[in-house]
Amino acid sequence: MNQTSVKCFKGYAQVGMRYNIEVFYTVPDFYHTKLFTCLKCGAIFCADQEDIDYSGKPLDVVVGKTICPGCSSELSESMAPYPQLFRLEDGTIGHFEPTRQILDDKVSLAIEFWDLYS
Amino acid sequence: MFKRLKTLLLPVAILAAVFGGVSANATTLPDLSAGCLAETRVGGYQLFDATPRQVQTAQASESQQATAFSWYDTASECSVAAKNAGYHATKPQNAPYIMEQGVRSSAGGRLGEGVYVSDTVEGAIAEYNAHNPGLRLKPAIIEVEYTPGVNLKVTPPSQYYEGPLPFTQGAGSLTAPSVRVGGTVNTVIRNGTAVPVRRVQ
């Protein structure tokens, strides 16, 4: 599995009494890349909606065959939508609901994630 | 007697002049309901009920654009053309599938649900590059033919909440200026008429 740069935005989550935990999120804007995470190790994955729609390989089929490069667990059992769910270093699971506001390109970031379709 | 009548009639004449003036001003506002869009406000949202016809234009006045729902108010032009063409850039490996199976509707975006195309190849590539900052592969460009139906020209603000749009009743497509390449426009095809016709590159 290779890593791909994804256009995303930064958000700040709160988990318990811990604040300003950096998370990343994407918004649909002409295209849409979805993000996922492995809840067993915190690795973050991406899947372009066009790959899901047009590659001939549905997402559940791809996930069913994939092993997490971070912890070797089966992604079909450990994968969850990110950043709605994310794992902190100590194993705590956090929640973050990204804004649906479409922000300016200038504040976007290019972050590399594991590409489920690579 | 005449003096008393004058005192009575003068205020009436003034009032008539004032209300007459307001009425005259009101008639100079664009009558969207007489054009292609019938406008109503429901629960604070402005709704447009579009009726297809050949070409109609109704420019919203400054006072209308200055409302809290200004970008919806700028859905000020609509037209029905027989066919139109747009361009969609995609990863080269996905192009054969699109040509064979057709284009699918996006679940959301700046202009809501539908198939997104640009009016130029350059515009399509710019959207693709903005979305794929790390990809070095040149995209494949698919020409998409569509029947716009009632096409609304809108100008979304630079930042707003992605979600269902309240004014799209009856609109087959929405067109907005590209935020990435000046002079180009993006269209979302909402009526299911988008058909990939050829691969341009």
Interval B150-198: pLDDT, tens: 888 887 766 666 666 766 667 889 898 898 898 999 999 999 999 999 9
- Which of helix, strand or coil describes residue B57? strand
Interval B19-44: pLDDT, tens: 444 333 333 333 333 345 544 433 33
Of B94-98, B128-132, B156-160, give the range with the top mean pLDDT: B94-98
A16 touches B at CB < 8 Å: no
- Which of helix, strand or coil describes residue A1? coil
Number of residues that this document lists for chain A: 118
How far the first Cα of chain B sits from its last, in Å, is 90
With 0.80 as the threshold, say if the pTM is over it: no
> Considering only CB atoms, which chain B residues are within 8 Å of A99?
161
Cβ neighbours, 10 Å, residue A29? 22
- Which of helix, strand or coil describes residue A44? strand
Instruction: Please check whether residue B74 is in contact with residue B104, taking contact to mean a CB–CB distance below 8 angstroms.
Output: no
Of B186, B158, B151, nearest in space to B75 by CA: B151
Of B98, B101, B159, the CB nearest to A103: B159
Mutation target for B interface from A30, A49, A115: give the one with most B CBs within 10 A: A30
B134 touches A at CB < 8 Å: yes
**Contact flag A51-B94 (C-beta cutoff 8 Å):** yes
